[in-house]
Amino acid sequence: MNKVLFALMACFSLSTGYAEEGKMENVEKPAFYIVGIECKTSNDPAVGPQQIGQLWSRFFIENVAGRVLNKVSDDVFALYCEYEGDYTKPYTFVIGCQVSSVDQIPEGMVFKVLPSAKYTVYSVEGEYPQSLVKTWGEIWQSDLKRTYSGDFEVYGEKFFTTDSKPVDVYIAIE
C-alpha cells in the first residue's frame, strides 16, 4: 500500500470502522527519545483527522524517517503527548523514530522524552485502519487509570510488508 495513502486513510477513518480484537499486556519501559515532526491537535472529529493526516503525509513526502539520526530501529512511532487534560483535550502529536541520542536534531524536527512508565499494550492486527480505530475507541471507553504522560503507536516492518498490518499501541498507566 502506498505510504501516503495509508496515512490519509488512517486519519480519514478515525471515527469509523470495526475489526478483529487485539491482545493486551502490561509492560514497563525505561525512558527513551523520539525525534520527528509534530503538530498540536485534538480528537475533535472536525480537526484531528485533518491535522493528523497532513502530518502523516508530510512525514512520508519529506522522508522524515530517512533523515532522523541515531535511530535505534526503522520502526515508526506515532506519539501522543503533552496532553492538556484527558483524551478529550488538545495534545501534541509527533511522528518519528526512537533514537539513542538527541545530540543532532535535523532542522524542522523536534525531540520528545518519554519518561520511564508502565504501559498497557494493545497488539492490534486486522483490516487497517479499522482495527486501530476500534482499539482507540475501546481505550477511550476503558477504565484504565491513564497517566497521559505519553502514549504511542509502533509501526514495525511487518506493518509495511504484511496484510495483517500489526500495530502496537502503548497507553501509559498508573
Q: Give long-range contacts, CB 8 A cutoff, 24+ apart: 47-55.
A: 48/11, 48/14, 49/11, 49/12, 49/13, 49/14, 49/15, 50/11, 51/93, 52/10, 52/11, 52/14, 52/93, 53/7, 53/8, 53/10, 53/11, 53/12, 55/93, 55/95
Range of the domain at 8: 3-173
If one counts the domains in the chain, the total is 1
Inter-residue contact 72 to 85 (CB < 8 Å): no
Q: What is the pLDDT of residue 22?
A: 56
What is the pTM for the complete model shown? 0.87
Residues in Cβ contact with 77 at an 8 Å cutoff, skipping those fewer than 6 apart = 34, 36, 94, 95, 96, 97, 98, 152, 153, 154, 155
The domain that contains 102 carries what CATH number? 3.20.80.10
Sheet holding 91-99, edge to edge: 23-29, 117-124, 167-173, 151-155, 76-81, 91-99, 32-41, 110-114
One pLDDT digit (tens) per residue for the chain, 174 residues: 334 334 434 443 333 333 344 578 999 999 999 999 999 999 999 999 899 999 999 999 999 999 999 999 999 999 999 999 999 999 999 999 999 999 999 999 999 999 999 999 999 999 988 999 899 999 999 999 999 999 999 999 999 999 999 999 999 999
Q: What is the pLDDT of residue 3?
A: 42
Give the dihedral of Cα atoms 87, 163, 13, 11; nearest 10 deg: 70
Kindly state the cell numbers that stand for 111: 525531540
- Cα separation, 152 vs 59, in Å, equals 16
